[in-house]
Amino acid sequence: MRAERLAHNLSQTELAEKVKVSRQTIHFIETAKYIPSTELALRFSKVFDKSVNELFWLEEY
């Protein structure tokens, strides 16, 4: 998420405003301390014009 945000020249605050969450939520997602809801993942998808699968994936065990 951080790489995508930086590629779009957005601060955490700017991205948070676009997807209607707090800056802290963006921080927690970027540091893998929070997994976004389906609705929030879809908002990110729209902002970045990428599929949810391109933005989020499961780590192999």
Give domain limits for the chain: 2-49
**61, pLDDT greater than 80:** no
What DSSP designation does 32 have?
Answer: T
Mean predicted confidence (pLDDT) in 45-54? 96
* DSSP tally for the chain: helices H, then strands E: 5, 0
Q: Are 13 and 33 in contact (CB under 8 A)?
A: no
User: Under CATH, what is the fold of the domain 2-49?
Assistant: 434 Repressor (Amino-terminal Domain) (1.10.260)
Specify the pLDDT at position 44. Answer: 98
Considering the entire predicted model, what is its pTM?
0.90
